[in-house]
Structure 1
């Protein structure tokens, strides 16, 4: 998708992350009273930083195609093992989960707005600026 630069691919990856994070948070909220349930979280920022590190490949001839790094669509779901909040072994903090859910919804909506803006721009270009 070099026509659209990497912006749409990055927005798509951000939406995938937000969707997975919402599922994980919903699971945590649904299991708030389940004995011995351990809360889960999605790690994305470290994976994003790792993926954005520029990879260098040596081109031995000027006619060789440039090397491009494809960002993997990997998110790490981790379990919080070291904390217990309830007497039944459960470590779900409902207040934190609700705050995370609200933050994730704002993030998701911002990505959707940006994606809509990109498509509106493309639509304008296709119509010839009208």
Structure 2
């Protein structure tokens, strides 16, 4: 029996994505002065589009439901190979990286707040509503 209908699992995958994105951004910032370093990024949308091409399938409870599914797989980290931001071949834009870091931190914190809410609800139920 799934208590939350897969919500905690979905939030967990979101946290894994946000964590990987944060590590990737930190790696880019750490290599801002490394010659010929190409910035890397993590894109969930790119992964979804790639999976969509493989004919998604769904668990259908009614014959009228559309046929699709999304197998849980790892997020894709890719680098901008043909992009050069500096004269030394480095492809890291520090302003962009800092903006992405702030955006990702807000996303991560929102997921943490949502998971805390789920666990607080479960805690209230266990205590009998007290």
**When the two structures are superposed, what TM-score results if normalisation uses the length of structure 2?**
0.82
Aligned residues: CA RMSD? 2.4
Q: Answer yes or no: is the 8 Å Cα contact 1:13–1:73 preserved in 2.
A: no
| Deviant stretches of 4+, over 6 Å | none
The Cα of 1:81 is off from its aligned counterpart by 1.3
Return closer, same or farther for 1:34/1:17 CA change in 2, 3 Å cut-off: same
Q: Distance in 1 between matches of 2:117 and 2:15?
A: 15
Return closer, same or farther for 1:95/1:58 CA change in 2, 3 Å cut-off: closer
The Cα of 1:48 is off from its aligned counterpart by 4.7
What are structure 2's unaligned runs of at least 5 residues? 62-68
Give the match's secondary structure for 2:16: helix
Give the match's secondary structure for 2:33: coil
Q: Answer yes or no: is the 8 Å Cα contact 2:84–2:90 preserved in 1.
A: yes
2:57 maps to 55
Number of residue pairs the alignment of both structures matches:
120
Q: Distance in 2 between matches of 1:76 and 1:41?
A: 8
Q: Distance in 1 between matches of 2:3 and 2:99?
A: 38
1:94 maps to 94
